[in-house]
Structure 1
């Protein structure tokens, strides 16, 4: 297990060299703080995967899927002002979550007045042919889409034009959010879409403060309080 985590950290160090470029890959992992990668101490590195697990819920999705996706139909109206970001939404086959339901959750999150549109810098519209793809994938397919980064079947990522939401996290949430699954889902969408906007990871500014949405909240809060919103 330790060798797998060390490999993951090594892969992240290599991938993060161009983390601000449009085609770069970013994974939510506790080795990145303020966009500077530092090796984790061995005890914490061994706990990276288990830190995300929320065992009080039952996993309703298969560990692996066919790698085939169902695309959400239709488009949405443009929300927000500023740079227009178009996106499409897809759900992997065999996941017992409807494409329309997942697309509606993504749409609501990106259209929310506390989301990325809040300061007039971004606007969003869902289009079936958009380059940016927001997908809900099984843990196994998440690992494939996020490669060469190591998601370990546990976390989500942004890799190039793919925002990959791990269906395991979508179903179970994370320990940091306790039983507030609805807020965790807002967070994971906002966090990974934030990477697609070119934003790096952030650190907790002060114990007891509201966590930045770009803090890796799935893996811990560093003393901050949970917060699913960018602003």
Structure 2
């Protein structure tokens, strides 16, 4: 006499742990009944019983493992969301070329691998160059601060601006420039797979944040 149907019931991924436990009790009850009423001339195949029991136990363990992994993912996501929320009101520096002009001040951080002569172009949201400046910088990080006054001598409205930086060494060869952005976090977007910080009109992935400081340390 063979036991059937139990393995099929446990193999579906939508069965809850409560249902698994109930099915396991039913399995044991059915097994006990079979042992009591088995035909002495055709006893229960112990190998088949062992295989079904191992299969059932494996499914139960897999469901528990899935529950643990889901709990760990939720915990990690919650920690990431809490971290992102803690940035609201702080000044962050992140990879990117955008920054916010607020009260006549916008700041960018960029880095060069060696001393270079640089040409910095500030562009508005439409891509138009509104300010250009040339100068020389040492190896490493430099901070460019713009007062919001364009090449035409007019003060530009607050908003999102971007920069492009071209660097050349003494021989005139191009030098790689890594551009960053600095601004105050005003909100967080959780709709994607990763929290996104809202810095004015710019959006910065949490993983792109390079540094964070209190707004009282000097403003955006």
TM value normalised by structure 2 = 0.22
TM value normalised by structure 1 = 0.22
Larger radius of gyration: 2
